[in-house]
Amino acid sequence: MADPIGIEIRGLYKIFGADPAAVLPLAREGMSKTELNERFRAVLGLRDINLTMAPGRIQVIMGLSGSGKSTLIRHINRLIEPTAGEVLVGGEDVVKMSPEALRQFRRRQTAMVFQKFALLPNRTVMENAVYGLEVQGVPPAERVERALAWVERVGLKGYETRYPNQLSGGMQQRVGLARALTNDAPILLMDEAFSALDPLIRVDMQSVLLDLQKDIRKTVVFITHDLDEALRLGDNIAILRDGEIIQAGTSQDIVLRPADAYIENFVREVNRGRVIRADAAMEPVPAADLPADAIAGDASLEEAGRLMARRAVDRLVVTDPSGRPAGVLRMARVLAAMTDRGESQEA
């Protein structure tokens, strides 16, 4: 498998309308989306996006409907042409690629999963899964052999000869996932891939993705409008509003330090106990008197609380990935962090 590669977006602007170039300077100067629309009939899709996506991690892009999420993810494989800016993938600017280079880039470096699945209805599960390899010109026998592993891995064993119409939504999106994984590309683009699914199935698919990601270590760009999904999947999360990134950071950053009232509003409804990590609420290791029980830094507060209750203690050592003490977590801090409503960060 190819090594993971990072994505860096710099100064990206997208303006829809008759003459984007003419409106661009105004957008740069900060004219509002509404004003641009009313005065120039131009729709501001994205404004000055700067975002670095780490190789081999899941980058979530979150925002309400119409905030520009689909527009942004489509710039990474240039399904949409930017008005200005750079999209560097592994150091190379996608925006400058020739049509042939772009086609090769899409065949080898990226694979995409779509909200409405976009499976070919006249093809079976297997025939859909091999589409990418077919386009690359891989011989038929090898295509099937390579696809088979992924079809089985996403739980479609025994369904290879079914048609998409014979499958439920969840199963259809597994086909979409298998088709993307079969491509063996280091970058996986998922545009609201699970948004069309029922809640239980959605959680199921999130588990499938997280489980896969442990092995495949791809650079995943995952779009969602659902904060719970974002927090569950994202190593990093960027929040988009009206075409602008208003906060980018880890789930801890977003939940503990929302950048503004808009994000605070989102964050208010999340289950903080499950999101906040033990190491985000810990205090420095004291010189003496270390507690006997320990918990990993990436465990949730909920888990920490459960352990405290089971052991009947009110303090835990928090360990770093190598197992050394990184801090101490007190029950009072756990409760404060879990019940905090964002008005105050202090416990």
Partner 1 sequence: MDWLTRFPQMDDARLRDLKKAIDDGFRAFTRAYGDTIEGLFEPLRIFLIQAERFMTQTPWIVVFLLITGICWLASRSWRITAGSAVTLLLIGYFGMWDDTMKTIAMIFVCTVISIALGIPLGVAMARWGRVRAAVNPVLDVMQTMPSFVYLIPVVMLLGIGRVPGLLAVVIYAMPPIIRLTDLGIRLVDRDMLEAADAFGSSSWQKLRKVQLPLALPTIMAGINQTIMMALAMVVIASMIGVQGLGQPVLRAISNQYFTLGMFNGFAIVGIAIIFDRVSQAFGRRLQKHSEVVHG
Ligand X SMILES: Nc1ncnc2c1ncn2[C@@H]1O[C@H](COP(=O)(O)OP(=O)(O)O)[C@@H](O)[C@H]1O
The contact set with partner 1 (CB under 8 A) reads 77, 79, 103-108, 110-112, 114, 116, 118, 120-122, 131-132, 134-136, 163-168, 183, 189
**Residue closer to Mg ion, measured from CB, 60 or 167:** 60
Residue 222's φ and ψ, nearest 5 degrees, are: -120, 120
Q: Which residues of 214-235 are buried (b: 16+ CB within 10 A; e: fewer)?
A: eebebbbbbbbbbbbbbbbbbb
Please choose, out of 62-70, 206-214, 286-294, 316-324, the segment that lies near ligand X by the rule CB under 6 A: 62-70
Whichever of 112 and 334 has its CB closer to partner 1, that residue is 112
Q: Are 5 and 55 in contact (CB under 8 A)?
A: yes
Phi, psi of 131 (to 5 degrees): -55, -45
Q: Which partner from the list partner 1, ligand X, Mg ion, none does 305 bind, CB cut-off 5 to 8 Å by kind?
A: none
d(Cα 49, Cα 226) in Å, to the nearest integer? Answer: 21
Picked from partner 1, ligand X, Mg ion, none, the partner binding residue 116 (CB below 5 to 8 A depending on kind) is partner 1
CB atoms within 10 A of CB 75: 21
Instruction: For residue 343, count CB atoms less than 10 angstroms from its CB and return exposed for 0-12, middle for 13-18, buried for 19 or more.
Output: exposed
Q: Which is nearer to partner 1, 111 or 301 (CB)?
A: 111
List, in sequence order, the alpha helices (H) in the chain: 20-29, 33-40, 69-76, 99-108, 125-129, 131-136, 140-153, 169-182, 199-216, 227-233, 251-256, 261-267, 272-275, 278-281, 301-311, 331-339
Does position 67 bind ligand X by CB under 6 A? Answer: yes
Contact 268, 308 (CB under 8 A): no
Give the shortest CB-163-to-partner 1 separation in angstroms.
4
| Binding flag, residue 82, ligand X (CB under 6 A) | no
Q: Is 65 in the site for ligand X (CB under 6 A)?
A: yes
Size of the site for ligand X (CB under 6 A): 11
Binding part of the chain for ligand X, among 58-66, 81-89, 205-213, 334-342 by CB under 6 A, reads: 58-66
Span interacting with ligand X, options 66-74, 176-184, 209-217, 273-281, rule CB under 6 A: 66-74
Query: In this structure, are residues 49 and 245 in contact, taking their beta carbons and an 8 Å threshold?
Result: yes
- Identify whether the C-beta of residue 21 lies closer than 8 Å to the C-beta of residue 82: no
Q: Which of residues 152-191 bind ligand X (CB under 6 A)?
A: none
Nearer to ligand X, 69 or 315 (CB): 69
Per rule CB under 6 A, is residue 16 in the interface with ligand X?
yes
| d(C-alpha 97, C-alpha 99), whole Å | 6
Q: Determine if 244 is a binding residue for ligand X (CB under 6 A).
A: no
Q: 65 or 322: whose CB is closer to ligand X?
A: 65
Smaller CB separation from ligand X, 69 or 106: 69
Taking CA 110 as the corner, what is the angle to CA 79 and CA 197, rounded to the nearest 5 degrees? 80
* Site for ligand X contains 241 (CB under 6 A): no
From 70, 83, 224, 319, residue interacting with ligand X (rule: CB under 6 A): 70
Least Å from the CB of residue 73 to ligand X: 8
Positions touching ligand X (CB under 6 A) are 16, 43, 45, 63, 65-71
